[in-house]
Amino acid sequence: MTATRDAMNALNVVMLGPPGAGKGTQAERLARTRGLPKISTGDILREAVQSGTELGCVAKATMEAGNLVGDDVMIGIVQERLDRDDARLGFVLDGFPRTVIQAAALDRMVDGRGPLVVLDVVVPEDILVRRLATRRICRKCGANAAPEWTDACGKCGGSLVTRVDDGVDIVRERLKVYLRQSKPLVDYYSARATFRAIDGNRPPDVVTEAVDAALESASGAAL
């Protein structure tokens, strides 16, 4: 399927959903099975912080406070990433857009590159707080820890740590920021034929099946 795709029927996917909804895991699975790059703006920023680049210095305090990094900075990062060759036939975006301004910029970026499928992973707030407060990631590669990884990363062997922005107070702040600034995204996208909401409060494999089914029906609706 990948070989026959061209720029006009590229598979451009946005995964929406609050922190802790499991959209990162689903985005990763989707990218792997469809042979597309997964582009996580949170990962890009964390890498920049770790390597101490100028972007990292700008983003660090904002991220640690649970706030959103500025739209112009984020739009620039994603524009540059989507211009790379491996994103020509599609991509899976995780963590972008977070605001309506970013969403409008993304529409301009994908203009002429095929439809944009938007999948919204929905999970109740009390479950999100519980999930986030216990979430661990790999210090080295940033992977989200799978439940069976007891003390080391199953991908690279790095140590597992609680995310610096996953403390309970910061978790609440991040969810508040999400509700205030990013929920309007659902209003922005929900009338489109390529928008699908997915119940994320189920085991990951069940959610993956729902994601696949939603993707098929949403891509069909775009034809």
Which of 5, 88, 135, 140 is catalytic? The answer is 135
Buried b (16+ CB within 10 A) or exposed e, 80-99: ebbeeeebebbbbbbbbbbb
From 29-37, 63-71, 149-157, 191-199, give the range in contact with ligand AMP by CB under 6 A.
Answer: 63-71
For ligand AMP, the closer of residues 133 and 221 by Cβ is 133
Stretch that binds ligand AMP, among 62-70, 114-122, 125-133, 150-158 (CB under 6 A): 62-70
Q: What's the Cα-to-Cα distance from 116 to each of 6, 108, 121, 137, 157, rounded to whole Å? A: 14, 11, 16, 29, 36
Distance of alpha carbon 28 from alpha carbon 137, whole angstroms: 15
Angle between helices 71-82 and 54-64 (to 10 degrees): 130
Q: Does 55 bind ligand AMP (CB under 6 A)?
A: no
Which among 64, 61, 57, 107 is positioned nearest to 82, based on CA atoms?
A: 107
Report the residue closest to ligand AMP, judged by CB. 42
Q: Mark whether 34 is an active-site residue.
A: no
Residues 153-212 that bind ligand AMP (CB under 6 A): 165, 174
Judge whether 172 counts as a catalytic residue: no
By CB under 6 A, residue 91 contacts ligand AMP: no
Please choose, from the candidates 145, 141, 151, 110, the residue with its C-alpha nearest in 3D space to the C-alpha of residue 131. 145
130 carries an active-site annotation: no
| Contact call for residue 89 and ligand AMP (CB under 6 A) | no
124-163 residues in contact with ligand AMP (CB under 6 A) are none
From candidates 17, 19, 22, 115, binder to ligand AMP by CB under 6 A: 19
